[in-house]
Amino acid sequence: MKKWVTLILVAMMMTGFASLGEEKPEMSMLRAQGTDIVDQNGEKVLLRGVNAGGWLIMESWMTLTNAPSQLEAFEVLDERFGREKREELFRIYEDNYFSESDFDNIKSLGMNVVRLPFAWWNLIDDEGKLKENAFSRLDWFVENCAERGLYVILDLHAAPGSQNGNDHSGDITGAKLFDNEDYMAKTELIWTETAKHFKGNPAVAAYDLLNEPGGKLNSTGVAQWEMFDRLYKAIRKVDQDHIIMMESCWDPSDLPAPDRYGWENVVYQYHFYKWNADNDYQAQKLFVDVKMHNFKKINHPVPSFVGEFTLFQSMDAWKYALKTYSDAGIGWTIWTYKVTGNSTWGLYNVYGNKVDIYNDTYEEIEEKWTNQGTLRRNTALCQIVADAIYGKSVTLPEEPSEKSDTPVMHLPVESVKATMGASVKEEDGVYRLTTKASLDPSYIMNAISYTLQESVDAMSYTYITFYIKDLQGSNTHKVTLVDADGKLVSQWVDIPSVHQEWTRVNCPLSMFKGVDLTKITEVRIGEWNSGDYLFDKLFLCNGTMDE
């Protein structure tokens, strides 16, 4: 009992007692001063936090949907159920994706800012008219952040017509914004109304005009600069105080000198991703060093901000990048707070059943988006982030774990093989899985397959459990169960492995709806990232087997 009281007190201290309804922390309107962001007293403020990706704009790789884009999801569900029911389904999703405890989790890491991606369809209708209660979602988010002393960067992630043609813009039919006056006018309306609404609100740190506005050429040039200037002027007509952020694709050389347009109180934002080097510390470090060199080479006389980034699987690279940016006075927001599937993309991992927009019934979609699954902290990464912000080693509150001495059933295995894209061999009584490429394992790729000697009744058990030694990084795992009728269901597991250490992974059997748990014949465990993984025997159990 004493232990839990201590943990509760630690958690309350780290969240600023926000849940107890105390007075809101006093927020100060921020502004750009030289290359720094300062408060109303002229004191420097280093903004460090995380993105709230996946809430108002869904991406299939990181949220509970298989839709290639959100506009595709709208179109398909409108046709299947009608617009009113589609809107209700997305209301259910948004109601359940982000909760007050998520704000507490963010604050517990010492963060002071959240970048909030939003979309044109949150505020305006297809004709470009402001919706009734257009700002209800944004208001709720900003208010919850303010209660915890968290600033918010309002990020237009999906502009009318799309500013980049990518899935994270909600529209993959092309980047049509910059050569279409109707789309540009609607975007101007969005920012005019947003600036009117949040004028004077100190909890809003900045207006982030357009996310990754690369257009058709995937770079920022005169067309983007002119659009920035149009939006800047529209905002300044109604709000002279808030910081305005302009994003580069992808370096300082891709943005103009601010005096070219007479911009004041602006911040230049950058997104840094070193692809194809997931667990390569030296490659990630060199990438960060090159970006820092580019800052010094161009030396724009405005603050720089890293609005999105990840260091993938290299924990040492995470430590290096966070320290490097912070020491240089450059603020940052990690992409992102939580994801499904691949652990180091999120500070937290959520595991639930993905919606099939083409085949799931209305009731099935409603259930999946109401009960979005287990949320598990990526403790190794969160610890690095908290230590970087606090400037010292801090103790994060422990997550409750279930312990039991209930019976265990060792699954009788007849054969072990690999699915496509992988190979497996036995070494000293365990199995080495080697995956050749980094990709979603689905149910037929990048997996080790255990065929059982006979069908097994798992209905009286709570978990299927396995042990893994991850030689590649710190990853999560996709488990597939196959029954005697050939039906199969795949789910991501809520426990990331520990690099180079044997990790026990407990996967709740309740996740596998649609497969007959009374006659399981095969178990597959898939890995997203290329590399080597060692596997031991399989078990069924009712507790979490704390050996």
Q: pLDDT digit string (tens) for 131-188?
A: 999 999 999 999 999 999 999 999 999 999 999 999 999 999 999 999 999 999 999 9
Determine the structural domain holding residue 85 and report its residue range. Answer: 53-249+348-390
Distance CA 422, CA 425 (A): 11
pLDDT band at 20 (very low <50, low <70, confident <90, very high): very low
**Are 421 and 385 contained in the same domain?**
no
Residue 473 has pLDDT above 50, yes or no: yes
Token readout for 138 is 């944004």
Mean pLDDT of the chain: 90
Q: What is the pLDDT of residues 416-454, one digit of tens each?
A: 999 988 999 988 888 999 998 888 787 678 899 999 988
User: Which residues are CB-contacts of 272 (< 8 A; sequence separation ≥ 6)?
Assistant: 250, 287, 288, 291, 306, 308, 309
Residue 196 predicted with pLDDT over 50:
yes
| Tens digits of residue pLDDT in 371-417 | 887 788 888 899 999 999 999 888 887 664 433 344 578 888 889 99
How many domains in the chain? 2
E strands in 357-402: 374-377
User: Is residue 464 located within the same domain as residue 376?
Assistant: no
Q: Are residues 169 and 71 in the same domain?
A: yes
CA neighbor of 136 nearest in space, from 56, 233, 46 = 56
SS3 267: strand
CATH of the domain at 465: 2.60.120.430
pLDDT band at 494 (very low <50, low <70, confident <90, very high): low
The pLDDT of residue 301 is above 90: yes
Same domain assignment for residues 376 and 432: no
Q: With H, G, I as helix, E, B as strand and everything else as coil, classify residue 400.
A: coil
pLDDT at 398: 64
> Which residue among 358, 390, 422 closes a domain?
390
pLDDT for position 323: 97
Average pLDDT over residues 24-28: 88
**Mean pLDDT (whole number) for 105-129:** 97
Pair 241, 169 in one domain: yes
Contacts of 1 (CB under 8 A, 6+ apart): none
Assign residue 88 the CATH number of its domain.
Answer: 3.20.20.80
pTM: 0.75
Sign of CA dihedral 137, 142, 147, 153: positive
**Mean per-residue pLDDT for 248-275?**
98
On whether both 153 and 211 belong to a single domain, the answer is yes
Q: What is the mean pLDDT of residues 254-269?
A: 98
Is residue 1 very low, low, confident or very high in pLDDT (cuts 50, 70, 90)?
very low
DSSP-derived secondary structure letter, 455: E
Mean pLDDT of 498-507: 82
Q: Are residues 91 and 225 in the same domain?
A: yes
Domain-located, residue 535: yes
Assigned domain for 98 exists: yes
Q: Is residue 126 part of a domain?
A: yes
The CA–CA distances, whole Å, from 405 to 238, 290, 468, 504, 543 equal 64, 53, 22, 16, 7
Higher pLDDT residue, 118 or 517? Answer: 118
pLDDT tens-digit readout, 66-107:
999 999 999 999 999 999 999 999 999 999 999 999 999 999
Categorize the per-residue pLDDT at 253 as very low, low, confident or very high, splitting at 50, 70 and 90: very high
In a domain, 376, yes or no: yes
What percentage of the chain has pLDDT greater than the value 90?
Answer: 69
Degrees, nearest 5: CA angle 14-16-21: 140
